[in-house]
Amino acid sequence: MKTLNPEIVEASVTGMFKTILILIGALVLLRFLGRVMIAKRNLDQERADLAREKAFVRERNEKLKNFGRVTVSRTKATPKGDVQDVDYEEVK
């Protein structure tokens, strides 16, 4: 039976520890990058929500400002000969 060389065994034990430390470091780095990406996505979502809320408030204020006012707008130009007067009857 052949005996193991202690230098080879010692080198493999240190190599194993080095590999484990590298794997742990890689996992910590990936976890950190994942959290940074989630934070960036949340920040972008918050900005979009804020812009949507500002647009809603602006539209609401515009509607409240014009509440009760009557506006007449033309949807399409009609020639003068195409206008038709209509009589109405009162409903009792």
Number of domains in the chain: 1
Q: What's the pTM value of the predicted model, to 2 decimals?
A: 0.47
DSSP state of 62: H
The whole-number pLDDT of residue 5 equals 64
Please check whether residue 31 lies inside any domain of the structure: yes
pLDDT band for position 7 (cuts 50, 70, 90): low
Please check whether residue 75 lies inside any domain of the structure: no
**What range defines the domain where residue 34 resides?**
8-67
Which residues touch 22 (CB under 8 Å, ≥6 apart)?
none
Please check whether residue 28 lies inside any domain of the structure: yes
Please check whether residue 57 lies inside any domain of the structure: yes
| CA 31 vs CA 28, 42, 43, 55: distances in Å | 5, 17, 18, 36
28-67 residue pLDDT tens: 999 999 999 999 999 999 999 999 999 999 999 998 988 8
Q: Return the half-sphere exposure (C-beta side, CA atoms, 13 A cut-off) of residue 4.
A: 7
Please check whether residue 22 lies inside any domain of the structure: yes
User: Which of 20-24, 37-41, 48-52, 71-75 is predicted with the least confidence, judged by mean pLDDT?
Assistant: 71-75
